[in-house]
Amino acid sequence: MSGPQELGLRFQGITKVYPGVVALKDVSLNISAGEVVGLIGENGAGKSTLMKILGGVITPTNGSISIDGKVCRGLTVAESQAAGIAFVHQELNTLDNLDVAANVFLGREKTHGRWRLIDRKAMRDAVQPLLDRVGAQFGPDTPVAALSLAEQQLLEIAKALSMDARLVIMDEPTSSLTFSETNNLLNVIADLKAQGIAVVFISHRLGEVEECVDRIVVLRDGRVAGHLARGEISHDAMIRLMIGRDLKSLYTPPKAPPGGPLLSVRNVRTQAKPANAANFELRRGEILGVAGLIGAGRTELAEAIFGAGGKLSGQVRVNGAPLDAGSPAEAIAAGLYLVPEDRKRTGLILEFPICENVTMANLRSCLRNGIVSRSRQIEISEQQRRNLSIKTPDVRNAAQAMSGGNQQKVVLAKWLSMDPKVIIFDEPTRGIDVGSKSEIYKLMRELSDRGVGVVMISSDMEEVIGVSDRIVVMRDGGISGELQRSDFSEHNILTLAVGKALEEA
Amino acid sequence: MQKKDLGLAILIIVVGAVVYLRNPLFLSPINLGNTANLVGLFGIFAIGQGFVIMTGGIDLSVGSVIALLGVLFVEMVGRYGVPWPAAVAITIALGAMIGLAHGILITRFKMQPFVVTLCGLLIYRGVARGYTAEATAGFPFGASYPQLEWLTIGRSYGIPHSFVAMIIIAAVMWFVLHQSVFGRHLYAVGKNDEAARFSGIRSGFVITSAYVICSVLAAVAAIYFAMFTKSVQPSSHGNFYELYAIAAAVLGGFSLRGGEGSIVGVVLGAVLLQELQNLVNLLGIPSSLNFAVMGTVILLGVLADQQLAAYRAKKRAAQAFERLQPEGAEN
């Protein structure tokens, strides 16, 4: 497979172990000059870990890397750069207060004279040919603030070229591009290839992967699940390799068949993903799973429904009553609660005592003679501590001293001490130990049996298949499909998540 | 928090003892009375500044508000013969409007507190000077307002009423900050605005209220200062007072990042500042060094406090790590 001009980047048996998790297991990968390699896999398959090792950000636990015949255990950032490895990240790293040339030479500014003053002309002259190589329509002295996202991406690629990159790694480069911008980027990739530069293309958009790569490496659960040569590439083949593990059964069926609608979402569009509108309905007594790939707009939709911002249009009804929440306070008053994805940023005030966090949304219930009663706060928190078996010696301790699972229980305690009608769980078990996970699943089932609506956004296939009664799959802000329990499979979810229709079996 | 206040109280006593040993006049009734008066005057608006700093904001306009509202109060009572209770009400209402304007600009229009109140500092000072055409506003010769004077510059048992007013305000504000729902929300918004909002706290309302409280207390202080100085020189009256207020809050354990501080702390901070002024006078240090002494003490105080906090955090982390070990073995 390796061509005549050997780039000589060789990963051999790379393993990366984090406490409790094996992120990568025995991954081997060769990349040759002028080759476009697609790297695909589910959320959490190990793609970003592998790329961080390439970039020198983290060191593998085991295995060897060889560059141009030199073998080493791991790379440093400097070694990675010296080897000609460059990144174009999903979140662009451009500084929009500087112009194009200054961004390209950031930290490596060309200077002249003994005072080392910036030599703008030399930088401009050096940047222009690079911009020509990536087909950019803007000049070196254009301010970055005036560039579109797609143009900033070209700038990043030009910057990579300025560092004599031999390998450019693109992480989800098309996720925020329009159709024609995407086509243009695919052309640029073809040009890079023609210039002998290798490209690793990471994307969830299988159509684009199919179009631009020479071969595909599929990761699954930290291992290489398979390779596809140019001729073997097809949607089905990719999806088959991305899934294919046995899922443990977590499922507990509901006590009663689903009742009437509790939450209905009609044509809700978000500022982040305005292209499609979301439509779904949650019925009493069911757990509705919301699946989709990272960046599908699930969190944005949840926050829009909750009134935390970003809602463009659409109607939400809770128990039949319209709710146009302009702030979380209004959603909470209507009984719609959100357990947010980032519990350290939006779920909790880490520095505050547990009992303050538990009662934060409902302090009025702790008033005695117009004064917030600490003993009442502790009483309510103790009750929740027993219900949820929160492990802490004292509810007056700061929330930051607890484990992730217990912190998540404190977020839940805040809502359960009130009167929930619908609770949206956004990635409820991310970074949580196995024991707490199953407790949270049990709790969700109890809630739904009690008549509380439960919506669970999850990127964890095992969880979404094992816990939900019904699944809606999101893509690009819209609902790309719905699955009943009998149709649950990783294959079906992934197929809908990448925007393909299910074939009738 | 409690510990911080205690440390500050001890510092005040130690400094007081040293000054007393060098110059026994420190504890004379006259000196104590005068110092208490100044503590009262400065404490009133320092408490207000504390509320704004609690939200992570800052109010640089306090000194100018004291000048402008002082000028207007003296003019209303002295020149236009407005009954003083009405003048007090109008002055406080103007203060509330100024605070409301600051709050709305900051929360609705997303302007930075520093910018909004810096412009306020310039505008209110400029209006005060323009309105009086640089002349000093004063009460007419021989005029007297017995009740107003009793309330503001009077004394009972030698205790200046400005100090009493500050204690009453501090007590009320202690309930507001430490015992009410609003106070808890203020701490929450100051510490983590996002998490507070996601818990249904209306952070815009909370922050705006803090600015209103700050400017209302500045208005109250404006009346006390006007009565104390009897005349208001619009270009110099209240100059730099916002910095005294910020210094008192910082000394009292407030973090400029928000979410930390206590009423007892800011009051003790105001006491320490006036004690230092007094120290400069009583120990015969040239009064030109006044600010240098104050700056040095604040710098050392905050430095020591942060080093201690970092040390405590490190110890806590070590303990938490030890606690985690057996739990990890369980799982």
Average of pLDDT values for A106-120? 87
The DSSP annotation for A146-183 comes to GS-HHHHHHHHHHHHHHTT-SEEEEESTTTT--HHHHH
Q: What ipTM was estimated for this complex?
A: 0.84
**What residues of B are in contact with residue A356 (Cβ under 8 Å)?**
184, 188
Per-residue pLDDT tens digits for A145-186: 998 888 898 999 999 889 889 999 998 888 777 778 888 889
pTM over 0.80: yes
Do the beta carbons of residue B57 and residue B106 sit within 8 Å?
Answer: yes
pLDDT at site B294: 85
Residues A475 and A395 in one domain: no
pLDDT at site B320: 64
Average of pLDDT values for A440-444? 93
Do the beta carbons of residue A289 and residue A497 sit within 8 Å?
Answer: no
Do the beta carbons of residue A355 and residue A410 sit within 8 Å?
Answer: no
Return the minimum-mean-pLDDT range out of A107-111, A127-131, A406-410, A443-447: A107-111
> Which CATH number is A60's domain given?
3.40.50.300
Last residue of a domain, one of A366, A390, A418: A418
**What residues of B are in contact with residue A367 (Cβ under 8 Å)?**
181
H or E segment to which residue A235 belongs: helix A235-242
Q: Alpha-carbon distance B121 to B297, whole Å?
A: 26
Average of pLDDT values for A380-394? 92
CB contact under 8 A, B200 and A364: no
Residues A313 and A429 in one domain: yes
pLDDT at site A198: 93
Name A398's bridge partners.
A353
Judged by a CB distance cut-off of 8 A, whether residue A21 touches chain B is no
**What residues of B are in contact with residue A306 (Cβ under 8 Å)?**
198
Q: Is residue A17 part of a domain?
A: yes
Q: Is residue A392 part of a domain?
A: yes
The sign one gets for the Cα dihedral A43, A44, A45, A49 is: positive
**A34 Cβ contact partners less than 8 Å away, ≥ 6 residues apart:** A3, A5, A193, A194, A195, A196, A197, A198
pLDDT at site B327: 46
- How deeply is B229 buried, as exposed, middle or buried, from its count of CB atoms within 10 A (0-12, 13-18, 19+)? middle
CB contact under 8 A, B192 and A435: no
Q: CA nearest A490: which of A475, A502, A504?
A: A502
Residue carrying structure tokens 């001890």: B10
CB contact under 8 A, B180 and A372: yes
CB contact under 8 A, B183 and A372: yes
CA neighbours closer than 13 Å in the CB half-sphere of residue B70? 30
The greatest distance separating any two alpha carbons of chain B, rounded to the nearest whole angstrom, comes to 83
pLDDT at site A498: 86
**What residues of A are in contact with residue B201 (Cβ under 8 Å)?**
329, 360-361
Calculate how close chain A gets to B259, using CA atoms only, in Å.
10
Q: CA-nearest residue of chain A to B317? A: A401
pLDDT at site A206: 83
Domain that holds residue A485: 249-335+419-505
pLDDT at site A3: 39
Residues A28 and A51 in one domain: yes
Helix (H, G, I), strand (E, B) or coil at B256: coil
Calculate how close chain A gets to B59, using CA atoms only, in Å.
25
Residues A429 and A502 in one domain: yes
Residues A270 and A414 in one domain: no
Domain count, chain A: 3
Per-residue pLDDT tens digits for A283-342: 999 999 999 988 889 999 999 999 998 899 999 999 999 999 889 999 999 999 999 998
Helix (H, G, I), strand (E, B) or coil at B225: helix
Angle at B67 between CA B64 and CA B68, to 5 degrees: 85
Residue A502 predicted with pLDDT over 70: yes
Average of pLDDT values for A218-222? 88
Q: What is the CA radius of gyration of chain B?
A: 21
Residues A311 and A425 in one domain: yes
Helix (H, G, I), strand (E, B) or coil at A391: coil
Per-residue pLDDT tens digits for A454-475: 999 998 888 899 899 999 999 9
pLDDT at site A248: 58
DSSP code, position A256 = S
Per-residue pLDDT tens digits for A19-47: 667 789 999 988 988 899 999 987 778 88
CA distances from A297 to A270, B96, B328 (A): 8, 43, 35
pLDDT at site B329: 41
Name A176's bridge partners.
none
pLDDT at site B297: 86
Interface of B with A (CB under 8 A): 175, 179-181, 183-185, 187-188, 191-192, 194-202, 259, 316, 320, 323-324, 327, 331
pLDDT at site A244: 62
The sign one gets for the Cα dihedral A456, A460, A463, A469 is: positive
Residues A407 and A439 in one domain: no
Residues A265 and A299 in one domain: yes
pLDDT at site A425: 96
User: pLDDT below 70 — which residues of chain B?
Assistant: 1-2, 320-321, 323-331
The residue that leads in pLDDT, A1 or A453, is A453
CB contact under 8 A, B323 and A371: no
Q: CA nearest B176: which of B212, B223, B225, B222?
A: B212
How many residue pairs from chains A and B have C-beta atoms closer than 8 A? 76
CB contact under 8 A, A328 and B197: yes
pLDDT at site A167: 92
Q: Alpha-carbon distance A139 to A127, whole Å?
A: 9
Q: Is residue A155 part of a domain?
A: no
Do the beta carbons of residue B194 and residue B260 sit within 8 Å?
Answer: no
Q: How far apart are the first and last CA of chain B?
A: 36
Q: What is the CA radius of gyration of chain A?
A: 26
Q: Alpha-carbon distance A178 to A174, whole Å?
A: 8
Q: Is residue A28 part of a domain?
A: yes
Q: Alpha-carbon distance B129 to B68, whole Å?
A: 8
Helix (H, G, I), strand (E, B) or coil at A418: coil
Residues A30 and A72 in one domain: yes
β-pair type (A117-118, A167-171)? unpaired
pLDDT at site A78: 86
